[in-house]
Amino acid sequence: MSIRAIASRPKVVLLDFDNTLYEYEPAHEAAMSAVRVKGHQLVGVGSREFDRLFERARGEVKGRLGAVASAHSRLLYFQRLIELLGLKTQPLLTLDLEQTYWRSFLGKAALVSGVSEFLDELQLQGVPKALVTDLTAQIQFRKLVYFKLDECFDAVVTSEEAGTEKPDPAPFLLALQKLGVGCQPNEVWMIGDSVEKDLEPAKRHLGATTFLVSHASSVRVAPHAVDGVIRGFEEMTQLVRRLFSGQEPQGKVVGA
Amino acid sequence: MKAVFREPFFLFGLVVRLMLIGFAVPWTQQSWFVPFMASFVAHPTIDPWGEFLRQGGDRLAFPYGPIMLLAYLPGSLVGEMARGALGLAQAPFIGFGLCSLGLELMLFWAMIRLSKMDAKRLLVPLWLSPMAVYICYWHGQTDIVPIVLLVVSLLALRNHRAAIGGVLLGLGIAAKLSMFLSVPFIAVYLWRNARQRILFVPFGRGLIATVALSTVLCIMLPGFREMVLGSREFHKVYSAAVELGGQARVFVLPLAYSLVLYAAWRVERTSFDLFLAFIGLGFFTVLLLTPASTGWYLWVLPFVVFTQLRCGVATASLGAAFGGVFVLTNALFASGASIPVMGINLQSAELSAADPHCMLLHSALLSIQCVLGALFCLQMITHGVARSDYFRLSRKPIVVGIAGDSGAGKDTLASAIAQLFGEECVTSISGDDYHRWDRHAPMWRVLTHLDPRANELARFARDVGEALDGKRLVTRRYDHATGRFFREQRNSKNDVVIVSGLHALFVPAVAKRLDLSIFLDMAEELRTHLKVKRDVGERGRDVQGVLANIAKRQPDADKFIRPQVAKADIVFSLGVSDSRDVESCVRDSRYRLDVLFRNGVPSDSIVRTLIGLCGMQVDTDLVEGSGTVKVTIEGDVSPEDISMAARPVAQGMEELLAREPQWQPGMLGVMQFISLLQINDSLQTRITHVY
């Protein structure tokens, strides 16, 4: 789906974070292998067993908590994993595994090409932008500082703060509220990697123009929910430049 | 990497290649390589060269080693089988071409890894290079094999896989002996860089073992001796010569090559980029000073591409023009290919250089090509050599000075900073070695160590100067255990010099040469606590006596040591979080670090990373009217977090730092981090200063 057909300027841009601004899978893989090594060193658990228990721990935590930010907490997963090993609760060991996870995660994670330039371009054109992301604020803020994106957003909404996760409308509406703008349909752009969690709800509740960030070579998308598919942010920068070039926005008196 | 396969430029290059592979029959392959490979496929033997000659084959057909044979074997095998089964005359050429394509893709991959650049940026200079397409698929040469092996070997070397790198280059040499031209440069690079020197032996071992196995064994085969070693290509070395009058001649190529090699040696510390530029120059001398075969031009391609990526549009265009003239010259004067399905035959050269009418054109084109090549070399030198930060740094080491009162932790900080750069690259000079008398001398009854008169500061300054010049140091060292001096000789290692001592910033001759000057302070309550603990607890003195001793030294400390704060770039002052309860703070390592940045606002990343990534509490204050910024840091931090925080700056300084910089936990780690950032800033200004 080409983004060339898009003709109206955004008033607000909302972005998802994980797997949208950086590719999640390689970072997660690197983090898990570092944690596996540590798990083996500290409690002698083999990697297959470790993976099995991690899946089980995650399943339990998610099942118990439902769609809230802490359901993604690696700290809780590792805590439960250690308990499943029959070791009772081990706060220090749990913290150690969690910190190892995020350090290795950030060490591998790299921004998708053109993200910073795109955000700069929006800044230049005076378009406010907000990050709408599931997960706890602590780790998301840390990621923002690590990627040097902490100055780039006018508002950040985490699901911890919103109380519910996407696709619930609450995080999206909170973001618009923080930006202090009311929006007509097509005035909001939503950029994310998940049709179901980012794009479909943004379309339904805000009437947003939606962009799917894809790291895979081919994607099949539901055409009604997705207006464009992008692989890097360079094309988005081009699009913004095109839309904002030429005449001044309507309603502004020129040279009077 | 995957994303690049969808790029239009990539697809265009791929289609062009596939078309050529599918339909073109290069003369070189039809007359030489394919018959040779066919003979080997039909009669597999240990001496394919001898077998081929016995069948009456052309002795020019395959002047290459066994690796070249292996590289093209899969395609030739399948191709010959397809010809037999389907009667498709083009099949062996398709098989041969697909092997080249596979190798080219491998080269593309290795170049992406080696340049650390986005794959897309390599598309135009490398993948769309007319030189590569022309040589591999129209002229039909096989030089891609040794070049892939050379580049992959360099990649392995950069990743510190020295033995594997040696083996790969050995294979490259086994494929084509001329790859040996790169060996002296690699040897110089490994030997002249203190950090890389440990790779020298494993690399050499891998290289020699591989060359020995693959080439020396082959030398016993008469066919190999005749076809490979008897190759006429070797004589080209002697083609450029200067008449000295009479019968005397000087061969230009060995002279030029030796000069380039000598230049590489003189640079002392080479960055990896610069090292690549030197290998490229080495190959260029051969191209420009011999009637080089068409395929040889592929040797310089990776190095041309590297220079193009690093330099501006002008240099990139110069490289492109060089490639363009090369293709034009060869399209006119070298053998080409035929396209049987279209009935086109361009196999034999359009023009002959021997034809008197064309001689002028040929010489003119060659001259243009030579001028462009020489200009490009010049760019390689100016960009790669002169503009390389390391070229400048190699003339001047990084110098860090650490001053402070005794017991402030100067030696601890000095060795922590040394661990970032790697002990093998650091010369440490300690002011303790310059006390005028040993501990047992009677003079200490009237002077303290803190008095400059009790120290041989002139000798101290002279030794620092000599260390900076990389001279051999003969120093008197102070043994803290016995309180006596002993004599020691050591070689200065020219990368980093760390000067620590009571008066490190006191001597102008030393202070002027420092890239970073640190004054190390300690909060009074912490210093007293530590001193009492050590002297009472370990040395059995009484508390009153120790306190009196501290008080007695104080005037000298105020008079001679403290004023050095004015000369420091940064002041570290270690204290505890709660000054009323020093004991428990020390026990629980609850320290506070005050950092004064005396020349204005510190790098933005210090504060943001300490808060954002290391989870520390940081306060920043502007000390009024002084231009000094005070940053107060509290909290604990692991070496892993410091290492992560330092990663961006460490990546920029990669070639100066140790392979695995050793980070310390807690405040010492924070001091390491801040010192490194300040050193980086200082290097940046040093570099911009030059321009």
pLDDT tens column, A21-71: 999 999 999 999 999 998 898 888 888 999 999 999 999 999 999 989 999
Chain A residue nearest residue B648, CA to CA: A146
Query: Cα angle at B190 between B187 and B194, to 5 degrees?
Result: 145
Q: Does A232 touch chain B (CB under 8 A)?
A: yes
Residue type, A67: A
CB proximity A150 to B under 8 Å: yes
Question: Is residue B390 predicted with pLDDT exceeding 60?
Answer: no
Out of B2, B612, B641, closest to residue A217 by CB = B2
Average pLDDT over residues B140-150: 93
pLDDT for B371 equals 92
Task: Return d(Cα B355, Cα B359) in angstroms, integer.
Answer: 6
Q: Is B612 on the interface with A (CB under 8 A)?
A: yes
- Please say which residue of B498, B518, B538 terminates a domain: B518
Q: What is the mean pLDDT of residues B204-209?
A: 94
pLDDT for A231 equals 82
Q: Is the pLDDT of residue B318 over 60?
A: yes
Q: Please give the Cα distance from A71 to A136 (Å, whole number).
A: 9
- Spatial neighbors of B679 by CB under 8 A, at least 6 apart, are B398, B400, B515, B516
- What average pLDDT does this structure show over B626-653? 85
pLDDT band at B537 (very low <50, low <70, confident <90, very high): confident
Contacts of B2 in chain A (CB under 8 A): 217
Whether B304 and B407 map to the same domain: the answer is no
State the DSSP string of B676-687: HHHHHHHHHHHH
The answer to whether residues A175 and A155 touch, using CB atoms and an 8 Å cutoff, is yes
Residue B55, pLDDT score: 87
Of the ranges A108-117, A136-145, B348-357, B522-531, which one carries the lowest mean pLDDT score?
A: B348-357
- Give the integer Cα–Cα distance in Å for B583 and B526: 9
Statement to judge: residues B208 and B331 lie in one domain = yes
Out of B612, B638, B640, whose CB is closest to A142? B612
What's the gap in Å between the CA of B658 and the closest CA on chain A?
19
Task: Count Cβ neighbours within 10 Å for each residue of B256-288 and write b for 16 or more, e otherwise.
Answer: bbeebbeebbebbbbbbbbbbbbbbbbbbbbbb
Considering CB atoms only, which of A100, A106, A231 is closest to B3?
A231
pLDDT score recorded for residue A247? 46
Q: Which of the four pLDDT bands, split at 50, 70 and 90, describes residue A255? A: very low
- What interface predicted TM-score (ipTM) does this complex get? 0.70
Cross-chain Cβ contact A103/B647 below 8 Å: no
pLDDT tens, position by position, B559-584: 888 999 989 999 999 999 888 888 88
pLDDT at A18 over 70: yes
Confidence of residue B235 (pLDDT cuts 50, 70, 90): low
Residues B11 and B85 in one domain: yes
Using an 8 Å CB-CB cutoff, list chain A residues near B3.
231-232
Neighbours of B255 (CB within 10 A): 14
CB atoms within 10 A of CB B469: 10
Contacts of residue B644 in chain A, CB cutoff 8 Å? Answer: 103, 106-107
What is residue B126's predicted lDDT score, i.e. its pLDDT?
A: 92
**CB distance A14 to A119 below 8 Å:** no
User: Is B351 found in the same domain as B321?
Assistant: yes
pLDDT number for residue A8: 84
Provide the mean pLDDT of chain B.
Answer: 85
> Between A and B, how many residue pairs show a Cβ–Cβ distance under 8 A?
30
Pick B490 or B1 by higher pLDDT.
Answer: B490
Instruction: Show which of B391, B410, B427 is a domain's final residue.
Output: B391
Return the amino acid letter for B259: L
Which range among A2-11, A166-175, B555-564 has the greatest average pLDDT?
A: A166-175
Query: Per the CB < 8 Å rule, is B612 touching A217?
Result: no
Instruction: Verify that B332 and B386 share a domain, yes or no.
Output: yes
DSSP for chain A, please give it. --GGG--S--SEEEE--BTTTB-HHHHHHHHHHHHHHHHHHHH---HHHHHHHHHHHHHHHHHHH-SSGGGG-HHHHHHHHHHHTT----HHHHHHHHHHHHHHHHHH--BPTTHHHHHHHHHHTT--EEEEE-S-HHHHHHHHHHTT-TTT-SEEEEHHHHSS-TTSHHHHHHHHHHHT----TTSEEEEES-IIIIIHHHHHHH--EEEEE--SS-----TTT-SEEESSSHHHHHHHHHHHSSSPPTTPPP--
CB atoms within 10 A of CB B676: 23
Q: How far is CA A205 from CA A128, A178, A185, A187, in A?
A: 19, 17, 9, 13
Q: Which residue of B has its CA nearest to A230?
A: B3
Round to whole Å and give the CA distance between B163 and B185. Answer: 17
**Whole domain around residue B654: which residue ranges?**
569-691
B3/A232 touch (CB, cutoff 8 Å), yes or no: yes
How far apart are alpha carbons B432 and A72 in whole angstroms?
Answer: 56
Quote the DSSP letter at residue B599: T
Give the one of B5, B6, B640 whose C-beta lies nearest to A103's C-beta. B640
* Closest residue on chain A to B120 (Cα): A113
Q: Is A141 on the interface with B (CB under 8 A)?
A: yes
* Beta strands B398-404 and B516-522, pairing class: parallel
Indicate which of B644, B647, B649, B663 best probes the interface with A, i.e. most A CBs within 10 Å of its own CB: B644
pLDDT tens sequence across B358-378: 888 888 888 999 999 999 988
Q: Does domain A3-23+110-244 have CATH number 2.30.130.10?
A: no
B10 and B72 belong to one structural domain: yes
Chain B CB within 8 Å of residue A107 CB: yes
Give catalytic residue positions of A. 16, 18
B647 touches chain A (CB under 8 A): yes
B656 and B676 share one domain: yes
Residue B286 and residue B379 share a domain: yes
Are residues A145 and B609, on separate chains, in Cβ contact within 8 Å? yes
pLDDT of residue B238: 66
- For residue A249, the model assigns a pLDDT of 45
Q: Which residues of A touch B647 (CB under 8 A)?
A: 107
Please state the rounded mean pLDDT for residues A125-152: 92
Segment among B234-243, B262-271, B624-633 with least mean pLDDT = B234-243
Quote the tokens at residue A49.
């067993």
Nearest to B613 among A142, A231, A232 (CB): A142
Residue from A23, A41, A92, A103 to probe the interface with B (highest B Cβ count within 10 Å): A103
* pLDDT attached to residue A13: 95
Give the domain-ending residue among B475, B494, B518: B518
Question: Is residue A244 pLDDT above 80, yes or no?
Answer: yes
- Contact call for A106 and B644, based on CB within 8 A: yes
Residues B105 and B146 in one domain: yes
Q: What is the pLDDT of residue B584?
A: 85
Contact A217/B at CB under 8 A:
yes
**Residue B181 and residue B113 share a domain:** yes
In-domain check, residue B471? yes
Same domain, B267 and B370: yes
> Rounded to 5 degrees, what are φ and ψ at B185?
-70, -40
Q: What is the mean pLDDT of residues B169-176?
A: 90
For A53, phi then psi, to 5°, come to -70, -35
Least confident of A83-92, A104-113, A245-254, B208-217: A245-254
- Tens-place pLDDT, residues B333-344: 888 888 877 877
Claim to verify: residue B429 and residue B347 sit in the same structural domain: no
- Which chain B positions have a beta carbon within 8 Å of A146's beta carbon? 612-613
> Do the chains contact at B2 and A106, CB–CB below 8 Å?
no
C-beta of residue B48 within 8 angstroms of C-beta of residue B40: yes
CA B71 to chain centre: 29
State pLDDT tens for residues B405-462: 888 889 899 999 999 988 888 888 888 888 887 777 777 676 777 888 888 888 888 8
Question: Which chain A residue shows the shortest CA-CA distance from B118?
Answer: A113
Residues 100-119 of B with CB under 8 A from A: 118
Asked if B671 and B416 touch (Cβ cutoff 8 Å), the reply is: yes
Q: Name residues whose C-beta falls within 8 Å of residue A102's C-beta, 6 or more positions apart in sequence.
A: A31, A74, A139, A142
Type of residue found at B322: F
For residue B233, name the pLDDT band (cuts at 50, 70, 90).
low
What are the phi and psi torsion angles at B87 (to 5°)?
Answer: 70, 25
CA distance B612 to chain A (A): 6
Chain B residues with CB under 8 Å of A95 CB are none
Kindly state whether residue B625 falls inside one of the protein's structural domains. Answer: yes
pLDDT at B393: 58
* A99 vs B contacts (CB less than 8 Å): 638, 640-641
Q: How many angstroms separate the CA of residue A106 from the nearest CA in chain B?
A: 8
Instruction: Answer whether residue B414 is part of any domain.
Output: yes
CA-to-CA dists, residue A108 to A34, A50, A101, A145, angstroms: 11, 21, 11, 15
A113–B contact, CB cutoff 8 A: yes
Percent of chain A having pLDDT more than 90?
Answer: 59
Which residues from B are below 8 Å from A100, CB to CB?
640
A117 and chain B: CB distance < 8 Å anywhere? no
Instruction: Write the CA distances from B23 to B16, B28, B222, B295, B348, integer angstroms.
Output: 11, 15, 36, 21, 17
Band of residue B96 on the pLDDT scale cut at 50, 70, 90: very high
CA of B548 to nearest chain A CA: how many angstroms apart?
44
Of A100, A113, A145, the CB nearest to B612: A145
A127 touches chain B (CB under 8 A): no
Element (H, E) at B316: helix B313-333
The confidence band for A251, taking pLDDT boundaries of 50, 70 and 90, is very low
CB contact under 8 A, A103 and B641: yes
